[in-house]
Amino acid sequence: MERTGQVCESGSSMVKHGLNPDKTFMQVHYLKGYFLLRFLASEVGDQQMTDFFRLFVKKYHGQLVLSQDFLQMFLITFPHMEGKGLTLSAIYADWLDRPGIPEWLRERSAVWSQARLVEEVKAEVVKWILSSRSHQAKGRKRKRTEPKVNYKELTADQLVMLLELLLEESELSVSSMRALQKAYGLQKQDAEVRHRWCELVVKHAYSQAYCDVEHFLVHDQAMGVYLYGELMVQEDPEQQALARRCLALVQEEMDQSARSVVEEMIL
């Protein structure tokens, strides 16, 4: 809870009492952070939250920022939140210090599971799975035709969910992977979507899209650490060579802690 961030005269920054640097690359931080922001937005409204983001960026632009800086400014901007029992200590206790899923998220998950947007994604997943299995069966009969899927346009969040559900499939045909990429223009989507697409490419060794994985590792380094691990764990020589090539391209400009984690995976 103390102010641990310091900026030297040279402009470099230092954080005291740092935690294990490897932990910064676990997915839990991104997931809980996302849902914490969704929770705060649900309390004040999406537009009010967007306006608050603008104020926050304007105030702290170019500075070393701590989580309590953000939360304290939020509570000052929306003082009525204290009447709802939303204090700095309560947020830390429920969202940051306690393991597991916060109570708000447990309650919402039951509602979201039946939401229309979720059901739309699940319906699309079924289409792609059935198409892939159909093509695999035809492939065994030496018939090579592209799977025809009448896909529905999806939002970025829906695409993330679609790809995460498809990641649970043990096998997807090459033609289905190709059609999936073309249908949604996956290599042109935002980083969250492209990250899941790269995971799918690695899992199914879809070599035609290895260029997408390389592009992600070079240009989205902060999110790419997990992918290096996936490339190495598959024990595929081509994928391992891809990981080493990408590290060689970016190692001089990588964050030091990220580089040490990746080097430990690869060496």
pLDDT at position 142 over 60: no
pLDDT at position 56 over 90: yes
Task: Judge if 91 and 159 occupy the same domain.
Answer: no
Task: Judge if 30 and 61 occupy the same domain.
Answer: yes
Model confidence band, residue 242 (pLDDT cutoffs 50, 70, 90) = very high
The residue among 55, 80, 112 that closes a domain is: 112
Task: Judge if 80 and 162 occupy the same domain.
Answer: no
Q: 10-14, 46-50, 186-190: which has the minimum mean pLDDT?
A: 10-14
Q: Which two tokens stand for residue 12?
A: 């470099």
For CA atoms 109, 123, 154, 173, give the dihedral sign: positive
Asked if residue 2 is part of any domain, the answer here is no
Model confidence band, residue 222 (pLDDT cutoffs 50, 70, 90) = confident
- Write down the pLDDT at residue 210: 96
Nearest CA-CA partner of 135 in 182, 180, 168, 174: 174
Once rounded to an integer, what is the mean pLDDT over residues 4-25? 55
Q: How many domains would you assign to the chain?
A: 3
Structural domain span for residue 265: 206-267
Give phi and psi for 6, each to the nearest 5. -135, 140
Task: Judge if 108 and 119 occupy the same domain.
Answer: no
Task: Judge if 156 and 84 occupy the same domain.
Answer: no
Q: Which two tokens stand for residue 24?
A: 């910064």
Task: Judge if 230 and 252 occupy the same domain.
Answer: yes
For the entire predicted model, the pTM comes to: 0.67
- Write down the pLDDT at residue 107: 75
The residue among 151, 184, 217 that closes a domain is: 184
Asked if residue 1 is part of any domain, the answer here is no
Query: What are the tens digits of pLDDT across the range 70-109?
Result: 999 999 999 999 888 889 888 888 887 887 778 887 777 6
Model confidence band, residue 125 (pLDDT cutoffs 50, 70, 90) = very high
R_g of the chain, CA atoms, integer Å: 22
Amino acid at 229: G
Asked if residue 49 is part of any domain, the answer here is yes
Task: Judge if 39 and 87 occupy the same domain.
Answer: yes
For tokens 């996956």, name the residue: 186
Asked if residue 195 is part of any domain, the answer here is no
Comparing 141 with 265, which gets the higher pLDDT?
265
74 contact partners, CB below 8 Å, separation of at least 6: 40, 52, 81
Q: 26-35, 115-124, 223-232, 237-246: which has the minimum mean pLDDT?
A: 26-35
